[in-house]
Amino acid sequence: MKKILIVFGTRPEAIKMAPLVKELKKHTEFNTKVCVTAQHREMLDQVLGFFKITPDYDLDLMEANQTLNQLSARVLTAIDNVLVDIEPDLVLVHGDTSTSSMVALASFYRGIKVGHVEAGLRTYNKLAPFPEEINRQITGRLADIHFAPTEQSAQNLINEGVNSSSVHITGNTVIDALLWGINHVNEQREDIQEIKKFIKTDKKLIVVTGHRRENFGNKFYEFCSALKELANRADVQLIYPVHLNPNVQKAVYDTLGDHSNILLIPPLDYEAFIWLLNHSYLIITDSGGVQEEAPTLKKPVLVTREFTERQEAVLEETVKLVGTNKNKIVKEAFLLLDNKKEYQRMIGNKNPYGDGTASKQIATILKNF
């Protein structure tokens, strides 16, 4: 029996690793343990509750105002005891977080093999996104087996000298999570009922998220100014679950706090959020995961970033990069609001991130690893 340790720490990681945890636990060939660093605490716990996952180890490393260096040092130290206790044959990490890169490094130091889920995403700009681009490159150098979501991400790894025999194209587990989640949403939840009170069926609903560090400051105020102009239209409504980071909160509430056509709410847990995405007309976001999820839900996305490691969706034209330039955001949003043909063209394109079978594919590959 192969001992597999799955480690994650943030809400996005938890969402994307949850279907893999559930899949691996179905197989008697694996002794699967779960460790969370709780790099995010409350948001992580919401996801664990929704997917009914109980961690075997909870390192509880979240501290207010800790720096990336402090967090990284704490992850590297704390995970060592878990590795000694379990002695896993393989450690699975996800994506691009400090948890992923530090757990991969600790495993490498212990001579334990590493599997990287959502491997090979690249912008090749170390500051965009920051610090994720370097985190995933570090993990990619340390990993022994790479689960790439797309042909492009696999090719990135091969171009960097990774042995092609260790690279497997599986699709993205986020689609597995989304399809499972949509089927398990409880519409009677209090937060969903409150949102329903705001939504008017004769208006087009725009869902907004924004939290990227590289957009803080003047860029974020310009982004908010674009949202305000969109909300002045009589035929739209905006709902913005506002990230808890003070840099985000100040810009959003300074600019948008008194607009009757905008609903500003606290961050939603995963269940309510995917319900909201599914009921939207248009999504404006700087989130990586939403870029992957929205095409499955047939929702067009305007991405408020200059660079994206998810170029497949740009090439497939299910998303458009608009940066934080007010005029560009407004122009592209108006086009999708007013031009039905353009809207149908965007939502008619194929989701390049898979069909919801990534976790099953990874389990099959691991049986032979």
Q: pLDDT band at 191, cuts 50/70/90?
A: very high
Q: pLDDT band at 197, cuts 50/70/90?
A: very high
The angle at the Cα of 7, spanning 22 to 278, to the nearest 5 degrees, equals 55
The predicted-structure confidence for 29-48, as pLDDT tens digits, reads as follows 999 999 999 977 877 899 99
Question: Is residue 120 over pLDDT 80?
Answer: yes
CATH number of 190-347: 3.40.50.2000
| Spatial contact of 51 and 74, defined as CB atoms under 8 Å apart | no
Question: Is residue 129 over pLDDT 90?
Answer: no
Average pLDDT, the chain: 94
pLDDT at 213: 75
CA dihedral 247, 248, 253, 254 (to 10 degrees): 50
The predicted-structure confidence for 316-330, as pLDDT tens digits, reads as follows 999 999 999 999 999
Q: How far apart are CA 98 and CA 70, in angstroms?
A: 10
pLDDT at 256: 92
The predicted-structure confidence for 222-239, as pLDDT tens digits, reads as follows 999 999 999 999 999 999
Kindly name the residue from 41, 189, 211, 279 that is annotated as catalytic: 211
- Whether 132 is a known active-site residue: answer yes
Q: Which CATH class is domain 2-172+354-367?
A: alpha beta
Kindly name the residue from 118, 271, 286, 293 that is annotated as catalytic: 118
Under DSSP, is residue 165 helix (H, G, I), strand (E, B) or coil? helix
Q: How far is CA 225 from CA 96, 206, 245, 257, 308, in A?
A: 30, 15, 19, 12, 22
Q: Which are the contacts of 258, defined by CB distance < 8 A and separation ≥ 6?
A: none
| Spatial contact of 139 and 94, defined as CB atoms under 8 Å apart | no
- Whether 213 is a known active-site residue: answer yes
pLDDT at 217: 82
CATH 3.40.50.2000 range(s) for the chain read 2-172+354-367, 190-347
Angle at which helix 326-338 crosses helix 218-231, to 10 degrees, equals: 30
pTM of the prediction? Answer: 0.91
Kindly name the residue from 96, 271, 293, 312 that is annotated as catalytic: 96
Most confident of the following: 154-168, 244-258, 300-314 = 154-168
DSSP type of residue 363: H
pLDDT at 342: 95
Under DSSP, is residue 321 helix (H, G, I), strand (E, B) or coil? strand
**Lowest mean pLDDT segment, chosen from 16-20, 87-91, 212-216:** 212-216
Under DSSP, is residue 91 helix (H, G, I), strand (E, B) or coil? strand
**Residue 172, token pair as written in the block:** 């993205």
Kindly name the residue from 213, 214, 259, 342 that is annotated as catalytic: 213
| Spatial contact of 221 and 325, defined as CB atoms under 8 Å apart | no
pLDDT at 220: 87
Q: Which are the contacts of 340, defined by CB distance < 8 A and separation ≥ 6?
A: none
- Whether 116 is a known active-site residue: answer no
pLDDT at 41: 82
Q: Determine how many CB atoms are found less than 10 A away from the CB of residue 155.
A: 16
User: Cis link prior to 12 (omega < 30° from 0)?
Assistant: no
Name the phi and psi angles at 308, rounded to 5: -140, 140
Question: Is residue 111 over pLDDT 90?
Answer: yes
Q: How far apart are CA 91 and CA 114, in angstroms?
A: 5
pLDDT at 233: 96
Residue with tokens 């959003």: 252
pLDDT at 219: 86
Q: Across-strand partners of 34?
A: 6
Kindly name the residue from 13, 23, 132, 133 that is annotated as catalytic: 132
Q: What is the mean pLDDT of residues 292-318?
A: 92
Kindly name the residue from 110, 243, 259, 279 that is annotated as catalytic: 243
H helices of 232-325, where? 246-256, 270-278, 288-297, 311-316
Q: How far apart are CA 135 and CA 221, in angstroms?
A: 28
Question: Is residue 369 over pLDDT 80?
Answer: yes
Q: What is the mean pLDDT of residues 332-359?
A: 95
**Residue 340, token pair as written in the block:** 């039905």
The predicted-structure confidence for 135-174, as pLDDT tens digits, reads as follows 999 999 999 999 999 999 999 999 999 999 999 999 999 9
Q: What is the mean pLDDT of residues 75-90?
A: 98
